[in-house]
Each structure stands twice: as structure tokens, then as C-alpha cells.
Structure 1
Amino acid sequence: MVRGLFPTTEQDPVLQILEGSVVVLTTENIASVLRETTWMHTAWDLANLYLTSVGASLLSAEAPGLVGLSEETTCYVSIDYFRGLGRFEDFIVHEAAHIFHNCKRHTMGLPESSAREWPLDIAYDKRETFAYSCEAFSRVVERGSTRQARLALVRELADGHVPETDRLDAREYVSVLTEAAGARNDWKHILSRCAPPRHPRR
């Protein structure tokens, strides 16, 4: 994902950040993670993420059943990650994709300017589309080495593996993946489809 989305000069700093970004919530670390969390709403979500993973009741009926959460440059992941993923699932890739809009470029050791504040330019209303697309496409690339194989995998996904969530436009999601699977610069197509609209200069 990083190799496909970032220019060569920026890949190593981004990979270094991601290598230390994943925190798997377990019985051993949940208390310390919650104590050290800056924001109460994040602590609430992390507590519910952990409770979901152990099959316990959530803190409220409205609490979402999460399997992952990203905050700045940290990806919190449920222990469910190690209990078997769906064919097109990867919680870590999903949450890592969110890091690219969670923090400023300088946080990742990248050059920053007023025109380039974020690691990747992703439209606010496309953030989930981007994360879900990166998640699925990482599995497509893993399983399909040719254009034909990747397109076949996307068709398989469309026939019964589209995530069931109101945060995602299923038709757009499949369209993004189909375009990426059929292109040479595949990951860049995902990024361009999720970028903010460009306004013509006056």
C-alpha cells in the first residue's frame, strides 16, 4: 500500500511510522492503554472495541461494535485480527489507511507546506471509502498477480463480500476497486477517486 501511494522518497519514513503504529488490545494492556489515552471519546471507543473482542456487553446500546480504530499515528486493533480474517478483510491495513489523514506530514517525517499538510489528500467524506478500498485491494493484490486475476477477485468481492456498513457507498466502493484492479498504477487510482474535488483556477 505504501509503495503504491507514496513517492519513493517518502516511503521509508512512512513505513517506519507504520511499523510501530499497531497496538493489539488484550487483557494485559487494555487498562494501561485506556489510562494513557488523551481523549475520553477515544477511550470510550477503545473500551468497546476490547469488550467486543471478548464477547462482553458494550458500555451502551448505542456503542458501535468496532474491530479497529486509529488515532493520530496509532492503530488499535482487536485480538479478532488473529482469529481469522474474511477473504477481503485486513483490519490493520484499514486503520493504517486512516493514519494518512489523521496526522500532519511533519509527524511522519515528511516535508510539509501550507498546500501540503496531510500525508495524503483525501476528501473528508471519502475517508471510509479510501480505508475500505485499501483494505480490500491489499487482499486482491495478495491473491491476484495479473490484471485478469485481480478483476476476477473484485467481481467475487462484489458478489458477496461488500462490507455491510452505512459508512460506505457499496456501488462506489466496487467501482473504485474495479478501476484499480484494471490499471497499471493501481493504488494511485484509489487515491485519485478519494481525493477532494479540484476547483479550477480563476
Structure 2
Amino acid sequence: MSPPTVAEEIERYLRTGDADMLGDAWPGDIMERGRRQHADLRGALVEEVRRLAKGHSHEPVPANVGVEFTRAKVEPMVRGLFTRAEQDVVLATLEKSVVYVTRETIEPLLLNHSYDRSAWDLANLYLLSVGAKLLGKEAPRLVGISEETTCYVSPDYFAEDDPFADFIVHEAAHIFHNCKRRTLGLRETRTKEWLLDIEYRQRETFAYSCEAYACVVARAKSPAERKALAADYGSKVRISEERVDPSEVASIVAEAASARNGWKVLLARCAPTTKPRSARQLAREATAARNSAEV
């Protein structure tokens, strides 16, 4: 079989988001191939998004959304999950974390994003928001993406009518397991590396639970109303994500609504079932292994 051509690699990327890490279809050394590949793939992606989005428009993004708007959304969650000494540091990051994927921002995002697959996902998020055809049959239908300390949010956020939905809170909750403590200047230990310790398989469950519980807290005026809203949330299936059990999320939200600090309930329900071993434990185990080998 002959190696793929540049045109074939571009077409594969546009339809699947997959790109050859080595860029072998392009000429030059590895650095030159990477530069050419990036320029060709992203340029083609921008042109295809322009073509598909032509004649379409997305929900308007209000002019007054910014740091204060985002902070108001995420502050209850941060205050409930972090110690007083850490709250302001985490808030300072989250309040600036949201990027709205709009007609004005989409092209710079596609051209400059570090990862080819993420740029493709953002392109599909944008196309979905304007009601255009997506890039491929397997393209994800996303309204938000969280990477490191950035939340990319669709303009559809401002048209959402589900009283228990908040994409900003959902994506911000993912930052807690995407971002290491040292990135924000917080003390890090072997057993405390990430902002929050979330079981890998529970990450989406945690994000959906934070999203729903944040809406409950925002709307409730009393503990009794908090419980009633949690019951309302659990009265019907609201999640179609295959990796999440809607009944588990409803159970977590109901338990949180009955607790003094419901955010800690969310964290406890989604924490790893086994804690990582400490350095002292590892040293003891190594010593025991050596002693056993010497016998």
C-alpha cells in the first residue's frame, strides 16, 4: 500500500478528527512536517467550518457576561469544596476560565489550539450551536468542553431551559480533576496532586452532580425547598450520557440536599474507593519485600 497523500490526510482529519502524530505525508524533517501539517489541517478545518456554517447563526451571547458572571456561577461550588485558605486561589482561576465559542472566537480557537482532536471537537461544538451539519458521522454533540483550566462553552448556554442544567458549572467541575495543585501554587503532596481527588470513572457523575446541585442551591430559599427541588430533579431522567447512571446522580443530589454541606457529599460519593498509598507505606512495603527476599 502506498502512503497516504496530504490531501487524504486532510480529508481524514476533517471527517474524523484523527491526525498522524508524525505527519509522514508532509515533506521535510519532523519539525518541518509538523509545521506544515498544522497549517494545512487547521486551515482546512477553518475553511470547512466556514462552508458548513454559512447562512447559520447561534444564540446571542449577552454583552455583560464575563468574570463576574462566571464567578457568581462557580463560587458556591468552590466555597463548598475547598478550604478557606484555598478558595480565593481556585476562584481566581475559575472566574477567568470560560471561553464562549462564537462566530467571533471560533477561527482563532481552531487555528491556535494545541491539540488537533480538541480543535476538531470545538469545530463540531460550534457547528452544533449554529444548527449546521457536523464534520463527521461520529462527531460528538457537545455544548461544553473542559481542558486543563479552560472551559469552552457553546452559546446554547443562554437558550437552555432546563432548570437543573448549567454547562459552566459542569465544565468547571472537570477542571478540579484536570488541574494539578501546583499549577495554581497550592501545596501538593504525593496523595494530593490534583485540585480534587475524583475517581476516574466518576468524573462525569461528579460534574453532573455539581451541575444539578448548583441549580438546586441557587433556587432554594430554605432547607425544605432544597430537598423538594432535589426530589423534583430525580423525578425524571435528565441525562443521556452513556457513562453516567442518572439514578446515581439523583441519589447523590438528594443526599447532598439533606446535608449541611452538600458539596462535601458530592465529593465523598465520587472519591476513589481506595486511597493512594503514602510514601511511608510504600517504604514499609519495600522493606518488607526486601526482607522476604533475603529469607
Query: Same fold judged by TM-score > 0.5?
Result: yes
Could you say what the CA RMSD is over the residues aligned between the two structures, in angstroms? 1.5
Q: Which amino acid aligns with 1:104?
A: K
Corresponding residue of 1:43: 119
Q: Report percent identity of matched pairs.
A: 57
Is residue 88–residue 161 contact of structure 1 (8 Å, CA) maintained in 2?
no
Q: CA deviation at 1:161?
A: 5.2
The gaps in structure 1 that reach 5 residues or longer are none
**Partners of 1:19 and 1:200 in 2: how far apart?**
31
Q: CA deviation at 1:146?
A: 2.0
Is residue 191–residue 276 contact of structure 2 (8 Å, CA) maintained in 1?
no
**Structure of higher RCO (CA pairs closer than 8 Å, 6+ residues apart):** 1
TM-score (norm 2): 0.66
TM-score (norm 1): 0.96
Mark the CA change 1:111 to 1:200 in structure 2 (over 3 Å): closer, same or farther: closer
Q: CA deviation at 1:17?
A: 0.3
Pick from 172, 185, 202: which aligns with 2:248? Answer: 172
Within the alignment, does 1:112 sit opposite 2:188 as a pair?
yes
Q: CA deviation at 1:151?
A: 1.3
Q: CA deviation at 1:145?
A: 2.6
Mark the CA change 1:110 to 1:2 in structure 2 (over 3 Å): closer, same or farther: same
Q: Which amino acid aligns with 1:130?
A: F
Q: Which runs of 4+ in 1 moved over 2 A?
A: 198-202
**Partners of 1:15 and 1:140 in 2: how far apart?**
21
Corresponding residue of 1:5: 81
Larger Rg: 2
Within the alignment, does 1:182 sit opposite 2:255 as a pair?
no
Number of paired residues? 202
> How does 1:114-133 map onto structure 2 within 5 Å?
114-133=190-209
Q: Secondary structure at the match of 2:145?
A: strand
Is residue 148–residue 179 contact of structure 2 (8 Å, CA) maintained in 1?
yes
Mark the CA change 1:200 to 1:11 in structure 2 (over 3 Å): closer, same or farther: closer
Pick from 87, 92, 97: which aligns with 1:21? Answer: 97
Is residue 18–residue 96 contact of structure 1 (8 Å, CA) maintained in 2?
yes
**Partners of 1:13 and 1:59 in 2: how far apart?**
39
The gaps in structure 2 that reach 5 residues or longer are 1-76, 282-295
> How does 1:84-123 map onto structure 2 within 5 Å?
84-123=160-199
Corresponding residue of 1:55: 131
